[in-house]
């Protein structure tokens, strides 16, 4: 749905309104739409603006959570990882990890942990390697006291693109998703029952009054704010995870490396991601305003570089080698532990007076959380069959007849898509990013000659399609989330802005003045939150 079409009917009544356009909100939105409800998703900024474009890019079981005794979290994460590898093949990809061993005791613990990890996945990926072989896998690794190590598999993704894929699936199931709609207040009746909300369209300045049978609070680290309107006490802890991006030539890796920091023995990782090397992550209480773009601190930068140089002493990495940084704030259930890294990564679903809050958890478990939320949503919104009729009702009932049937439908759909992609090999790389929209993007590419944007692996057809079809409202939406150029290209992609201006101004409907304003806004943002100069 185009934004203008939404504005024309926004004041209508919805069955369910999902607040929050990150991974959790996207997953709930998709499930609710597939169940047959009339559902609206609203996001106060851009889709995936928050934690879901700033994650560690891992779709993983959480080996360190297993070591902390969080068995249930690890079990769910491993099982969901396996499903995502099948459902989003190409976008979610296997990633080989190397875990060096420097002392006998840690090696025994690691072997035991990986054995459980593989058992949960119902497939064996772990393999032990002697020191010589491990050094060949990671040539620059510190060899002092190196006994050997293990390789095992997890997975990685482009987190923002995964969010868009899931939102598009929800839209194609009949849902409506709109960004830059800021919720201001829950609307309640005299008994306190939530009946909808008021919101502000940030682009038009229009106030919207939206009615719904149920409102889903999927706002991540902002979840306590909306719950607070019902008098509920805060239950979340906001933890910042910061990361470094290095050019591949400065730290070339063919596999990910899991290692421990010499200072506090926290697990860190360095991995290949979209042509660069990504290093993460810290785990600190975030005590700054959530209205501001999160950014790495100098102390976090020094901490990550110290860990890297201990693992790769010959590389002699400095802040000058870093090409970009980014930080995200995670919503974690607050149990008051003194060490933030030991807080549980379980998810929570709370239901009060028509407001269903879904929060916590991990990127990997978004679909599991969404299915759990459906039970609470149905209590307030009723059965979707009550709002459908005839053939449409039967279709909705079939979709909600069980989790397994929904998954089988999705798998059949993806199998069919995979077969189509085999017939048209040229669209395979587009299918990774755009799923069912890949043929439309490819058709556009054929019409304009399939020209690539110099210095990137993107076609002009992709960004033109994105500008017209993916609700790009600001330049930062395109540079940081629809593409990842703000992280992958030198200086945040400053050098390609003139080319983008020439080709995209018309598609975005921006005149000269608007484009200049957007460039200033984007570059100011990049310098404030992504520039490696933040490391000092």
- Verify that 144 and 242 share a domain, yes or no: yes
> Are the CB atoms for 20 and 163 separated by under 8 Å?
no
pLDDT band at 5 (very low <50, low <70, confident <90, very high): low
Q: Which of 37-51, 345-359, 401-415 has the highest mean pLDDT?
A: 37-51
- Verify that 189 and 242 share a domain, yes or no: no
Residue 82 gets the label, from left (phi > 0), alpha (psi -120 to 50) or beta, of alpha
Distance CA 167, CA 218 (A): 14
Helix axis angle, 460-469 to 438-447, nearest 10°: 120
Is 80 exceeded by the pLDDT of residue 314? yes
Q: Which pLDDT does position 407 carry in this prediction?
A: 44
Element (H, E) at 273: strand 267-273
Q: Which pLDDT does position 413 carry in this prediction?
A: 46
Summarize the confidence of residues 317-342 as an average pLDDT: 88
Element (H, E) at 479: none
Residue 293 DSSP one-character state: P
Is 60 exceeded by the pLDDT of residue 408? no
- Verify that 247 and 99 share a domain, yes or no: yes
Q: How deeply is 184 buried, as exposed, middle or buried, from its count of CB atoms within 10 A (0-12, 13-18, 19+)?
A: exposed
- Verify that 325 and 242 share a domain, yes or no: yes
Q: Which pLDDT does position 423 carry in this prediction?
A: 38
Q: Which residue has the higher pLDDT, 4 or 219?
A: 219
3-state secondary structure of 482: helix
- Verify that 318 and 178 share a domain, yes or no: no
pLDDT band at 202 (very low <50, low <70, confident <90, very high): very high
User: pLDDT (tens digit, 9 = 90+) per residue, 453-476?
Assistant: 998 999 999 999 999 999 999 999
110: nearest Cα among 267, 219, 310: 267
Tell me how many domains the chain contains.
3
pLDDT band at 429 (very low <50, low <70, confident <90, very high): confident
Query: Is residue 406 situated within a structural domain?
Result: no
Q: Of 307, 342, 377, which residue is a domain's last?
A: 342
Q: How deeply is 510 buried, as exposed, middle or buried, from its count of CB atoms within 10 A (0-12, 13-18, 19+)?
A: middle
Q: Which pLDDT does position 427 carry in this prediction?
A: 72
Query: Is residue 323 situated within a structural domain?
Result: yes
Q: Which pLDDT does position 473 carry in this prediction?
A: 97
Q: Which pLDDT does position 39 carry in this prediction?
A: 96
Q: What's the sign of the alpha-carbon dihedral 283, 287, 292, 298?
A: negative
Verify cis geometry, omega within 30 degrees of 0, for the bond prior to 281: yes
What is the pTM (predicted TM-score) of this model?
A: 0.90
Backbone angles phi, psi at 131, to 5 degrees: -55, -40
Q: Of 285, 316, 342, which residue is a domain's last?
A: 342
Token reading at 283 = 């785990």
Query: Is residue 56 situated within a structural domain?
Result: no
pLDDT band at 8 (very low <50, low <70, confident <90, very high): low
Backbone angles phi, psi at 168, to 5 degrees: -60, -35
- Verify that 143 and 214 share a domain, yes or no: no
Summarize the confidence of residues 279-300 as an average pLDDT: 94
Query: In percent, how much of the chain has pLDDT > 70?
Result: 90
Query: Is residue 208 situated within a structural domain?
Result: yes
- Summary mean pLDDT of the chain: 89
User: pLDDT (tens digit, 9 = 90+) per residue, 128-159?
Assistant: 999 999 999 998 999 999 999 999 999 999 99
Distance CA 331, CA 21 (A): 15
CATH number of the domain that residue 352 is part of: 3.50.50.60
Summarize the confidence of residues 352-374 as an average pLDDT: 93
Other CB atoms within 10 A of residue 69 CB: 11
- Verify that 367 and 221 share a domain, yes or no: yes
DSSP characters over 147-196 = -EEEEEEEEEE-HHHHHHHHHHHHHHTT-EEEESEEEEEEEE-TT--EEE
Is 70 exceeded by the pLDDT of residue 387? no
Is 90 exceeded by the pLDDT of residue 491? yes
Q: Which residues constitute the domain of residue 471?
A: 425-535
Q: Which pLDDT does position 392 carry in this prediction?
A: 43
Q: What is the dihedral of CA 527, 272, 461, 525, to 10 degrees?
A: -10
DSSP characters over 74-108 = HHHHHHHHHHHHHHTBTTEEEEEEEEEE-SHHHHH
User: pLDDT (tens digit, 9 = 90+) per residue, 214-252?
Assistant: 999 999 999 999 999 999 999 999 999 999 999 999 999
Distance CA 146, CA 319 (A): 27
Token reading at 30 = 């998709």
Query: Which of 198-202, 269-273, 411-415 is predicted least confidently?
Result: 411-415
Q: Which residue has the higher pLDDT, 398 or 368?
A: 368
- Verify that 290 and 224 share a domain, yes or no: no
CATH number of the domain that residue 275 is part of: 3.30.9.10
Token reading at 65 = 């959570």
Q: Which pLDDT does position 74 carry in this prediction?
A: 87
Is 70 exceeded by the pLDDT of residue 180? yes
Is 60 exceeded by the pLDDT of residue 424? no
> Are the CB atoms for 354 and 324 separated by under 8 Å?
no
Query: Is residue 315 situated within a structural domain?
Result: yes
Query: Is residue 250 situated within a structural domain?
Result: yes
Is 70 exceeded by the pLDDT of residue 11? no
Q: Which residues lie below 8 Å from residue 7, measured CB to CB, with a gap of 6+? A: 201, 204, 206
3-state secondary structure of 248: coil
Q: Which pLDDT does position 351 carry in this prediction?
A: 96
- Verify that 313 and 185 share a domain, yes or no: no
CATH number of the domain that residue 431 is part of: 1.10.8.870
Is 90 exceeded by the pLDDT of residue 395? no
Q: Which pLDDT does position 425 carry in this prediction?
A: 53
Is 50 exceeded by the pLDDT of residue 418? no
Query: Which of 166-175, 283-292, 425-434 is predicted least confidently?
Result: 425-434
Q: For residue 309, what are the CA distances in angstroms to 131, 148, 305, 377?
A: 19, 19, 6, 49
283-300 CB burial, b ≥16 within 10 A, e <16 = bbebeeeeeebbbbbeeb
Q: How deeply is 390 buried, as exposed, middle or buried, from its count of CB atoms within 10 A (0-12, 13-18, 19+)?
A: exposed
- Verify that 85 and 43 share a domain, yes or no: no
Q: Which pLDDT does position 468 carry in this prediction?
A: 92
- Verify that 148 and 248 share a domain, yes or no: yes
Q: Which pLDDT does position 350 carry in this prediction?
A: 96
User: pLDDT (tens digit, 9 = 90+) per residue, 46-78?
Assistant: 999 999 999 999 998 777 777 777 788 888 899
- Verify that 151 and 280 share a domain, yes or no: yes
Q: Which residues lie below 8 Å from residue 194, measured CB to CB, with a gap of 6+? A: 186, 187, 188, 212, 214, 215, 230, 353, 354, 355
451: nearest Cα among 440, 434, 466, 463: 463
User: pLDDT (tens digit, 9 = 90+) per residue, 98-124?
Assistant: 999 999 988 898 999 899 888 988 899
Query: Is residue 418 situated within a structural domain?
Result: no
Backbone angles phi, psi at 21, to 5 degrees: -105, 35
416-427 CB burial, b ≥16 within 10 A, e <16 = ebeeebeeeeeb
**Which position has the token pair 């950014």?**
295
Q: Which residues lie below 8 Å from residue 168, measured CB to CB, with a gap of 6+? A: 435, 436, 437
Query: Is residue 419 situated within a structural domain?
Result: no
Distance CA 89, CA 241 (A): 27
Backbone angles phi, psi at 446, to 5 degrees: -65, -35
3-state secondary structure of 131: helix
Q: Which residue has the higher pLDDT, 255 or 65?
A: 255
Distance CA 281, CA 269 (A): 7
pLDDT band at 449 (very low <50, low <70, confident <90, very high): confident
């Amino acid at each position: 749905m185009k934004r203008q079409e939404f504005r024309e009917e926004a004041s209508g009544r919805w069955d369910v309104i999902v607040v929050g356009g990150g991974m959790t909100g996207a997953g709930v939105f998709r499930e609710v739409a597939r169940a047959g409800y009339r559902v609206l998703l609203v996001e106060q900024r851009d889709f995936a603006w928050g934690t879901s474009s700033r994650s560690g890019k891992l779709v993983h079981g959480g080996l360190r959570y297993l070591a902390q005794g969080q068995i249930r979290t690890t079990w769910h994460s491993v099982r969901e990882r396996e499903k995502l590898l099948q459902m989003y093949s190409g976008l979610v990809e296997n990633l080989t990890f190397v875990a060096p061993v420097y002392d006998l005791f840690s090696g025994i613990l690691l072997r035991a942990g990986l054995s459980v990890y593989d058992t949960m996945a119902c497939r064996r990926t772990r393999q032990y390697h002697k020191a010589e072989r491990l050094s060949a896998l990671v040539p620059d690794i510190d060899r002092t006291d190196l006994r050997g190590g293990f390789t095992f598999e997890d997975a990685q993704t482009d987190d923002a693109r995964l969010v868009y894929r899931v939102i598009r699936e929800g839209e194609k199931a009949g849902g409506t998703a709109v960004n830059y709609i800021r919720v201001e207040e829950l609307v309640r009746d005299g008994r306190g029952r939530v009946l909808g909300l008021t919101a502000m369209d940030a682009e038009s300045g229009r106030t919207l009054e939206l009615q719904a049978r149920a409102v889903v609070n999927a706002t991540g680290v902002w979840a306590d704010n909306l719950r607070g309107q019902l008098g509920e006490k805060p239950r979340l802890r906001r933890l910042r995870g910061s990361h470094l991006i290095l050019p591949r030539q400065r730290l070339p890796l063919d596999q990910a490396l899991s290692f421990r920091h010499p200072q506090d023995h926290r697990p860190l990782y360095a991995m290949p991601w979209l042509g660069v090397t990504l290093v993460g992550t810290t785990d600190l209480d975030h005590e700054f305003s959530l209205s501001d773009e999160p950014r790495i601190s100098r102390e976090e930068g020094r901490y990550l570089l110290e860990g890297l140089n201990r693992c790769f002493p010959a590389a002699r990495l400095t802040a000058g080698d870093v090409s970009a940084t980014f930080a995200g704030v995670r919503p974690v259930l607050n149990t008051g532990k003194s060490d933030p890294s030991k807080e549980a990564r379980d998810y929570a679903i709370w239901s009060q007076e028509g407001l269903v809050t879904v929060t916590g958890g991990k990127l990997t478990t978004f679909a599991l959380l969404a299915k759990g939320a459906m039970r609470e949503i149905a209590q307030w919104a009723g059965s979707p069959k009550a709002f459908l009729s005839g053939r449409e009702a039967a279709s909705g009932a079939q979709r909600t007849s069980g989790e397994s049937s929904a998954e089988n439908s999705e798998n059949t759909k993806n199998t069919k898509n995979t077969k189509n992609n085999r017939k048209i090999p040229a669209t395979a790389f587009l299918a990774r990013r755009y799923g069912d929209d890949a043929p439309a993007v490819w058709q556009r590419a054929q019409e304009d000659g399939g020209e690539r944007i110099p210095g990137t692996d993107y076609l002009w057809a992709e960004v033109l399609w994105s500008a017209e079809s993916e609700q790009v409202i600001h330049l930062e939406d395109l540079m940081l989330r629809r593409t990842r150029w703000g992280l992958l290209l030198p200086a945040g992609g400053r050098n390609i802005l003139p080319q983008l201006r020439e080709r995209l101004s018309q598609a975005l409907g921006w005149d000269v003045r608007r484009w200049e304003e957007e460039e200033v806004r984007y570059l100011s943002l990049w310098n404030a939150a992504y520039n490696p100069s933040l490391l000092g």
